[in-house]
Amino acid sequence: MIEQLLDDHKLSKDKITSLLSSLYVKGVDYADLYFEHSVAESWVLDEGIVKSGTYHISHGVGARSVMGEQTGFSYSDDLSISAIENATKFARGISTNKAIQKIQTYQDSSYTPIYSGNNPLKSIEQEEKVNFLKRVDSIARKEPKVTQVSASFSGAYTDVLIASTDGVYQKDYRPMVRVNVSVIVEHEGRIEQASSGGGGRYDYRYFIDHNLAEVYTNEAIRQALVSLESKSAPAGNMPVILGPGWPGVLLHEAIGHGLEGDFNRKGSSVFTGRVGEKIASEKCTIVDNGTLANRRGSLTIDDEGTPTQNNTLIENGVLKGYLFDKLNARLMGEKSTGNARRESYAHIPMPRMTNTYMLNGDDSLEDMISSVDKGIYAVNFDGGQVDITSGKFVFSANEAYLIKNGKIKQPIKGTTLIGSGDEVLNNISMVSNDLKLDGGVGTCGKEGQSVPVGVGQPSLKIESMTVGGTEVQ
């Protein structure tokens, strides 16, 4: 659709180049235009019926000029040439010089896509979408304790064109789909809720071919039934074992954000100036990899047209580097790592994570469990908060178990994990060989912008950390 949209508005490559040149006045270090066309839909089931369906189309362009640490930015959802000229006029206002600089010749480069360029919204008929949701409801209702079921089925297809003064002229076609299932169960007056789901950069057929209506629904029910049996969590300092996959969100929040380039350029991260230092247990190797095929956090190119990479952040405990966009890389004498991301054409790009995860170790989960006299085994998380400057965080686990005398005991409720990123890294004493990535549900927020991300890790043991619980002493 992006080609048709540009043609309709007489935005040829030469005209786009002319508009880009008008952004690049004397004093400006870098400028770009980001064109976007997006279609999105969502189907929602509640109380046994599909209650809502939405379909949304949006398009626009963002114009940006960068001078030192300053950014001039404007956007327009009108793609007429006059509207774009007004946007570029505003964005280049950070410089008082009106003389135009010469932009670089566009690079003759193309990158192998890491996901299909097909529109997922057209991959199955509307009837199949509705039937998928009804199947979720039918499966869930077979469990007598289930009292409520809700589910959503959503997809988006986004085309982008990025043109920049350093020679980038690149298009990307980005699919995204997601399913979410939520159930409420009740037994003897006790009510619990749980959810499950997943998605990625593929089409709706993936959910049907892999029987994911059953998988997601049964997992939501399993978690809810576990919660019905849970007891109050203990409190105090104790060993904590994190399960594989989604618990990697703790690393994402408590450590990953602190390794983004803007925070380190400004000196506001606990990891600022520590490249080459040992900041973690030698058991820890952590990467941010935007090149994984079809993953939710993956991109063929980032939102400045730089190909994504597999960036090693921490290797055997040593900090190897940060995540950069072009602005922060230039100011720190580095190169972009392909981590410039923006929510849409109406937002400024900034350094963000893609798929962030810890690599396998050579320990086993069984050995971890047996090594703990009293501690916590946390399998799933609701969410948490982190202070980038100090690295301190608070996370709540929605599925966790008490470990006693080297064995997993009853599920516990109200488990809160409290600590700091650098403290946790150094207290990791065992890392298993069961690396797992999350199911494709992660969304990361930063400075008012949300982007899809992935997380993951193998099971790991934190030798000691603060656990906040609700157990009556």
Interval 17-45: pLDDT, tens: 999 999 999 999 999 999 999 999 999 99
* CA distances for 18 relative to 22, 23, 26, 100, 198, angstroms: 6, 9, 16, 11, 43
| pLDDT confidence of residue 108 | 82
131-139, long-range: CB < 8 A, 24+ apart: 132/179, 132/204, 132/207, 132/208, 132/213, 133/43, 133/45, 133/50, 134/45, 134/50, 135/213, 136/45, 136/181, 136/213, 136/216, 136/217, 137/45, 137/48, 139/213, 139/214, 139/217, 139/218
Task: Kindly tell me the burial class for residue 142, based on how many C-beta atoms sit within 10 Å of its own C-beta (0-12, 13-18, 19 or more).
Answer: exposed
Of 96, 109, 81, 93, the C-alpha closest to 31 is 93
Of 125, 209, 111, 117, the C-alpha closest to 157 is 117
Express as a percent the part of the chain with pLDDT over 90.
90
Counting DSSP H helices and E strands in the chain, the numbers are: 11, 24
Token pair in block for residue 371: 């090594």
Of 362, 341, 367, the C-alpha closest to 353 is 341
Indicate the SS3 state at residue 470. Answer: coil
Do 312 and 320 meet the contact criterion of CB atoms below 8 Å apart? Answer: yes
| pLDDT confidence of residue 15 | 97
| pLDDT confidence of residue 109 | 80
The model's pLDDT over 192-218, given as tens digits with 9 standing for 90+, comes to 999 999 999 999 999 999 999 999 999
- b/e map 56-76, b = 16+ CB within 10 Å: eeebbbbbbbbbeeebbbbbb
| Residues written for the chain | 473
Task: Report whether pLDDT(471) > 90.
Answer: no
- The amino acid sitting at 211 is N
Indicate the SS3 state at residue 208. Answer: helix
Task: Report whether pLDDT(453) > 60.
Answer: yes
Do 431 and 358 meet the contact criterion of CB atoms below 8 Å apart? Answer: yes
DSSP per residue, 53-73: EEEEEEEEEEEEEEETTEEEE
Task: Report whether pLDDT(383) > 90.
Answer: no
Task: Report whether pLDDT(121) > 70.
Answer: yes
The model's pLDDT over 406-447, given as tens digits with 9 standing for 90+, comes to 999 999 999 999 999 889 999 999 999 999 999 999 999 999
Q: How high is the mean pLDDT of the chain?
A: 95
| Candidate CATH numbers 3.20.20.30, 3.40.50.300, 2.130.10.10, 3.30.2290.10; the one for domain 2-228 | 3.30.2290.10
| pLDDT confidence of residue 426 | 94
Q: Where in the chain is the domain with CATH 3.30.2290.10?
A: 2-228
Of 445, 278, 285, the C-alpha closest to 358 is 285
Task: Report whether pLDDT(387) > 90.
Answer: no
Task: Report whether pLDDT(380) > 80.
Answer: yes
| pLDDT confidence of residue 100 | 93
- The amino acid sitting at 126 is Q
pLDDT, mean of residues 253-274: 94
Of 215, 281, 285, 227, the C-alpha closest to 457 is 285
| pLDDT confidence of residue 470 | 73
Dmax (CA) for the chain in angstroms is 76
3-state secondary structure 92-157: HHHCCCCCECCCCCCCCCCCCCCCCCCCHHHCCCHHHHHHHHHHHHHHHHCCCCEEEEEEEEEEEE
| pLDDT confidence of residue 110 | 81
**Tokens 């934190």 sit on residue:** 462
* CA distances for 416 relative to 164, 220, 228, 280, 384, angstroms: 46, 21, 18, 22, 9
pLDDT, mean of residues 301-311: 98
Indicate the SS3 state at residue 213. Answer: helix
pLDDT, mean of residues 275-287: 97
* C-alpha dihedral (256, 259, 262, 268), degrees to nearest 10: 100
